[in-house]
Amino acid sequence: MSIMRNIFIGREPTKHYLGLIRLLDIGRMAKESMKALAGVDLRLRSPAVPVEDLSGGERQGVAIARAMYFKTKILILDEPTNNLSVKESQKVLQFVQGLKSQGISSVFITHNLYHVYPVADRLVLLNRGKKIGDFKRKETSIEELTKLMTLS
């Protein structure tokens, strides 16, 4: 699907045509999707580009732009930096910071403490489904968290 179809999936704006027939409002979808992408500082050439042609970081950016556009209250990110380059990972972390600055909470699931630590307010460590730690970021360090993870 295109970027604009991906952003509006299930919530596509329509317009009336010949009375009863409703057609997708492609113009509005294109304009609003580019506005949503700009909201996460993602500059893509066209909202008609298929998502499969985007980099991993850009794909994550589209998902985050959709969440921000529709005023999601909480976003669950499951390994959002997995298989991304260093540059793309940094961009995703910037997207998460953008969510936070707009008051959107996120649950960031990852094995990489170095990715989550800078953007987290709170860290919960799990081992085989059991909670082994629950910390405010300012009360712990990556080293302490790593030690706890390796001892479990």
- Work out whether strand 130-136 and strand 21-24 pair parallel, antiparallel, or are unpaired: unpaired
Show the low-confidence residues of the chain (pLDDT under 70).
Answer: 152
pTM of the entire structure? 0.73
Angle between helices 86-101 and 56-69 (to 10 degrees): 10
In this prediction, residue 121 carries a pLDDT of 94
In this prediction, residue 27 carries a pLDDT of 94
d(CA 36, CA 134): 34
d(CA 49, CA 62): 12
For the chain, domains (ranges, CATH) are: 3-120 (3.40.50.300)
In this prediction, residue 149 carries a pLDDT of 87
